Amino acid sequence: MTSQISASRSRPGATAAESPPENPDGRRRRADTSRQRIIEAMMDLTRAGEVSPSAEAVAVKAGVGRRTVFRLFSDMETVYREIHQVMMGRIEPVFRAPLEGRSWRDRLDAMIERRAKIFEEILPFKTAADTQRHLSPFLQEDHAQLARMTRQMLADVLPKKMAPGSRTFEALDAALSMEMWQRLRHDQSLSPKAARAAMKHMAGALVPRP
């Protein structure tokens, strides 16, 4: 989906009278609907394990023509941005919501629960994006943004003595990262529940409860 297909030529003899110009608002609405269906199709295929869905597969899933896919998404950076907007709309409110707990240690456990939910939601998209990140400035920034968000969330939970730069903070940041979730789920073949328990165990080893 990195090249654009030119529109088909009009058939010989076609005239303006035979094909009256379409209302611009109608074209725009139809294009917006097609864009949404294409993005939803790409996301569905990615969730199903397609790391790099083909234009043909996306077109079939979305119920549009292959040419429409290329016309509306002439480069992959546009696709990445659209998917990013959809995903951030889902996960950012979860990231930003206050963590409940009587102590910072309780809030750390609540944070792990929240991360597990978020990480599992974005796992197929992160896995697919990692295969293309070296080619995409947008995916590189997206990767860095996720690292910043998770790092700040951890800094907000831990006491000042465990500030960023301390050995405990850096160890926890690695142990509770998206990359660790990917390893637990993919390389070690753990279920989401088991992966979450493993993260809590690592946190408990690094910062035991009083």
190 close to 184: Cβ distance less than 8 angstroms: yes
Higher pLDDT, 86 or 76: 86
- Mean pLDDT score, 37-43: 88
DSSP string, 135-153: G-HHHHHHHHHHHHHHHHH
Distance of CA 158 to the CA centre of its chain: 26
Task: Look at the block and give the residue holding tokens 């978020």.
Answer: 118
Calculate what percentage of the chain has a pLDDT beyond 70: 88
- Mean pLDDT score, 177-187: 97
Phi-psi category of 189—alpha, beta or left, where left has phi over 0 and alpha has psi -120 to 50? left
CA distance 206 to 195: 17
Quick one: tokens of 65? 């023509």
Handedness of CA 129, 140, 145, 171 (dihedral sign): positive
197 close to 175: Cβ distance less than 8 angstroms: no
Q: Given pLDDT bands bounded at 50, 70 and 90, which one contains residue 12?
A: very low
Calculate what percentage of the chain has a pLDDT beyond 90: 49
The per-residue pLDDT for range 131-177, each reduced to its tens digit, is 889 989 999 999 999 999 999 999 999 999 999 999 999 999 999 99
159 close to 104: Cβ distance less than 8 angstroms: yes
Q: How many residues does the structure list for the chain?
A: 210
pTM: predicted TM-score of the whole model, two decimal places: 0.77
